[in-house]
Structure 1
């Protein structure tokens, strides 16, 4: 089987974007290898990982640097060098992810009204999201206890608030893990969750897939949520309180006047970015002496792309396609309502890019273009 893999070659052409430290997925042709593999170009050896998803196999790697207009030709080889990458461990309440022996993130399954990611470590190996309410840390703001690091939910679903927490609110209950895997290039899991009304009645099935990657100055989390309406139609209401949320580390908050900054794809900054539509938004600041950032990329196939950004100078950072009347002056309440018909599925895809440096120097726009337009792949 390995001999077959050794004879395979792939060409990667950058026709519409450039790819620097970018995850690449290529549909795998043939029998999957039984031992670690790599892509080889001259003396360069790039670790690769084979992943099965939606009935197909893919070869995945981090492309080091491919300028626009250029093509790299790779041979598929056994990897002679042991590659330390991702590992995962399931505990009673969380799926813990590590990279090269250090914590990367954890998907918290139980113990709160919704699943969430916490902690999330940035490219400097320091937590890049707020600790509260999971932990009390001196100097952090303790507002909005429902802002749990990284999460997905909404403030008006069939008239019920799933965004905040407490009596009379909806909850998202973890039902099981379909898959959890890790290797030299990525960690990936698929979770089944269920949205339940305050009386316990389920209204939505949720399938969430999270994929983690890492490079020397970058970390990525691809976050996909598929929602299926169960016994009746489900209406997502027009409110700013939603939907895919991040609460950045308190030291990054713009209001602290300590280097926090918000920039979107249109160049709008800080408070001017609130409620605006953009393909991406980036929140940067200082974490334990290092300038780092969290960029969120809105996928082209998402509802109402480019999305609206419910991004606040006090640290909330959320993509919200529903809250139109809050974001656009003069629009009546209900303009942003969306009804998911019984039995139908609505899917959202986002990429979080955790990077070093400010928006411009990090090249957020370039990374978004690489996300939006994958390279051309030719097997030989």
Structure 2
């Protein structure tokens, strides 16, 4: 049995109207590299993202994420360099999944920047095998990983299934992650977790520190909105079924939305959505997000497991995805 204590909270899902303007889905190709720890995902013949799991990274990531038109919506650093992208938080890479405090080990903040004499305080998510790759109307990628300490002692076994789909203006990632305890495992309430994305600079919220690059204003134009109606900085630490970041990238209106699932622990999740470009869903940071009024402690006994489900939606076009469309996508995802 999974034991946890939580704040009682209920949020009914809005009645959903059918969206009649859905576009035709495009074929998805999932191709495992023969020479690298990498799986490439293309939709409609265009690159979408890659699953990267080299030994040089402290966790597996999807990097980069692109819109249907090919615009990269994730920050380049530290794997590449793109004008305007900030170079803080080297552990923020593409899209990832881990946590700040599991049995006292920090999985979230681990990176090449941690000094060797402090590495023992950090955990590592080590992908050891790809279980399935499948191309078709929907692309499938399933992998197995171990959450370990620096001595490679396994705390959790992770099995994650990705489902990729898309059309001419949209890309969807459905992620289903099951964590099975190899020994007693305690997720201690912490701010940094669980599903994270580091945004390209254009999707950061504008602030007075924006600089000039190559003689032009660095156009950060991002903003957040949640299903509960919170916007901008007010989205941080609040609960909602989904959260959307949106802004201008070139002439395109671009958005990334994360949708929570009713079967997830502590639904609806808290949003760790920061103006500087960190966009994360964290149901296990309740103590921080409620200023100590309540907390979330998730404990698994050896052999027990928990599953987390998230939908990530990337859109581009003349205008960003609407609330009605996101509610429709949340409704369909809730049935999976």
The bucket for the TM-score relative to the shorter chain is: 0.7 to 0.9
Is 2:293 aligned against 1:351? Answer: no
Residues 327 and 310 from structure 1, CA distance in 2 versus in 1: closer, same or farther, beyond 3 angstroms?
same
Aligned-pair Cα RMSD in Å: 2.2
Is 2:238 aligned against 1:238? Answer: no
Q: For residues 334 and 178 of structure 2, what CA distance do their matches in structure 1 show?
A: 26
Q: Which of 234, 259, 267 is the aligned partner of 1:297? A: 259
Q: For residues 148 and 330 of structure 1, what CA distance do their matches in structure 2 show?
A: 30
Counterpart in the other structure of 1:306 = 268
Deviations 1:66-123 (A, max 9, x none): xxxxxxxxxxxxxxxxxx7222221212001112322111000213000000111113
Counterpart in the other structure of 2:148 = 196
Deviates more, 1:250-259 or 1:276-285: 250-259
Consecutive unaligned residues in structure 1, runs of 5 or more: 1-14, 24-45, 47-61, 63-83
Number of aligned residues: 299
Q: Secondary structure at the match of 2:190?
A: coil
8 Å CA contact 2:16–2:327 kept in 1: the answer is no
Given the two structures, how large is their TM-score scaled by the length of structure 1? 0.74
- The residue correspondences of 1:176-195 to structure 2 (distance < 5 A) are 176-183=129-136, 185-195=137-147
8 Å CA contact 2:16–2:324 kept in 1: the answer is no
Q: Which of 116, 120, 127 is the aligned partner of 2:72? A: 127
**Greater strand share, 1 or 2?**
1
8 Å CA contact 1:293–1:358 kept in 2: the answer is no
Q: Secondary structure at the match of 1:367?
A: helix
Counterpart in the other structure of 1:154 = 99
1:366 to partner: Cα distance:
2.8
Q: For residues 364 and 221 of structure 1, what CA distance do their matches in structure 2 show?
A: 19
Higher relative contact order (CA 8 A, sep 6+): 2
Q: Which of 109, 116, 136 is the aligned partner of 2:81? A: 136
Counterpart in the other structure of 1:69 = none
Q: For residues 157 and 48 of structure 2, what CA distance do their matches in structure 1 show?
A: 27
Q: Which has the larger radius of gyration?
A: 1
- The residue correspondences of 1:78-227 to structure 2 (distance < 5 A) are 85-91=27-33, 92-110=36-54, 111-165=56-110, 166=114, 167-168=119-120, 169-183=122-136, 185-227=137-179
8 Å CA contact 1:293–1:357 kept in 2: the answer is no
Consecutive unaligned residues in structure 2, runs of 5 or more: 1-14, 208-218
Counterpart in the other structure of 2:299 = 339
1:158 to partner: Cα distance:
0.4
Q: Secondary structure at the match of 2:206?
A: helix
Deviations 1:146-185 (A, max 9, x none): 01110000000001000011322100001111110111x2
Deviations 1:320-369 (A, max 9, x none): 0111111002426xx2211012111100000011113698x522443333
Q: For residues 229 and 318 of structure 2, what CA distance do their matches in structure 1 show?
A: 13
Q: For residues 348 and 19 of structure 1, what CA distance do their matches in structure 2 show?
A: 27
